[in-house]
Structure 1
Amino acid sequence: MKRKNTFVFSLWMLAVILTTSCIHDIEYDADEFDGKILSRITGYGGISQDTNDWMYFNLRTGEVFNENFSGEDIKEGEQIERTDWDFAFCGYHMRTNSGTSGHGRGGALDAGSGEYENWTSSSQLPADAAWVTDTDKDVYVTYSQKDWYSYLNKNGLDENEHPWFDPNSGPQRTLTSANKLLDNAIAVSGPPMTYTPSYHTYIIRCADGETYFKLQIVSWYNTHTEIDDTGGQLSYYIDKLN
């Protein structure tokens, strides 16, 4: 009986070794991420510690504003009069040069789940597309701790009675001007906070009203680094429609 058990055990060990060997020999052909990654974290967690910390992009020329820190090129409020930007990030929130965010003819359109590769030309856009423009009544951004405590001091409120972070509701937030449709690109829940991309393709209409880009958010994290608790350096695809 002992010899039989030993024989069975030996066969089991051989199967494990062969299986493990096969696993190590597998070559995975997953494509390396070749999209865009934000050059820094924006929003309340960024180096500037500003609530409205927006990084702006002129998609038509490739120019980037506030690439190194908040307000470096465009201070909050100054973007409204400018038409040399098309799109902006603040954390997982986004702006288009439209509505309350800018005087451009921008906007956003939901092109559905996936489908990114299928969108190649602006001629595919429906003539009656319902473009969503920016508002200042729908999107909340997280207060930076610096701005929250400045707000409390300005209004004579006690820090202990009005903490920046509440275990039940998370950090304090405030309304901003942004595109409510693009807020659907990442579903946020918690605490603890989780960020789940929708993988929808969105069409961004530029400030000139006649140039279009497609956008897909891939991750809340920098896909070239190990995922940890320091998200906010988004990974995404963005390409021009012919």
Structure 2
Amino acid sequence: MARPLRKIKLDGTLYSRRPAVEAEIQELAALGDCELELKALDCSRASPDFVSPEALMHFVRNVEPGILRDTLTECLLKRIYLLLPRADDGSLTNSNIRDDVVDHFIDLLLSDRVTYDNRLDYYEINFNSAVASDRKDARDRHWKHENRYDELEGEDDASLPIAAIGGHDPFDPTDLDQKSYRLQLDDAIDGLPEIQRRIIEMIRHDIPIDSKDPSVITISKALGKSEKTIRTYRDKAFATLRSRLERKGEQ
């Protein structure tokens, strides 16, 4: 029998998976690792080998650490991306929504691997609905964020210190003196989305976001994006780093 869920409803009863998902989990549990991996790689609902995202979520949470869990996790993330706005439409908002939803999900997975996190139970009950809710929350946040930028348009934060902009300076010299912190910071940076990671690495090497001197190499020039876009990604990266470093510090 699959491990019971632990989230409790308002009436005091436990959440439970749909009977079809329970039966699917039992069937998949009888397969070898290679066969389960092959089935998980198939994202086509029309395929007879299609594994429901709810069942896949169960195995990601419960298989032992190793290659199989890593592969299943990658398959699950692909399922999430299929439910999110396209990445190639040139929209910064859609890109931010994708990053937010995926970052949130990864944070839940990491939390669940430390100690059972019942916030993931809903993904085993109705995966698509859980992702849709995360997507709506991210969209609402960025709608408010963009309106705030519109109100502040024309203001320049280039002269502000890092701590005043992002609320947290991951490169505080006092923290960097500690080897354990540096290792945790490197791990946290490696887990950022690619564009955020590149921006943080350039900031780490004292490359300015922009400069009035056309001969100066800047992050804006290197990535071909506006100052405002770079700062938006930077602030988002700082917030993520702060969250992940605080979580590591509590372990």
Same fold (TM over 0.5): no
Which structure has the highest strand share of the two? 1
Higher RCO (Cα < 8 Å, 6 or more apart): 1
TM-score, scaled to structure 2: 0.18
Which structure has the highest helix share of the two? 2
TM-score, scaled to structure 1: 0.18
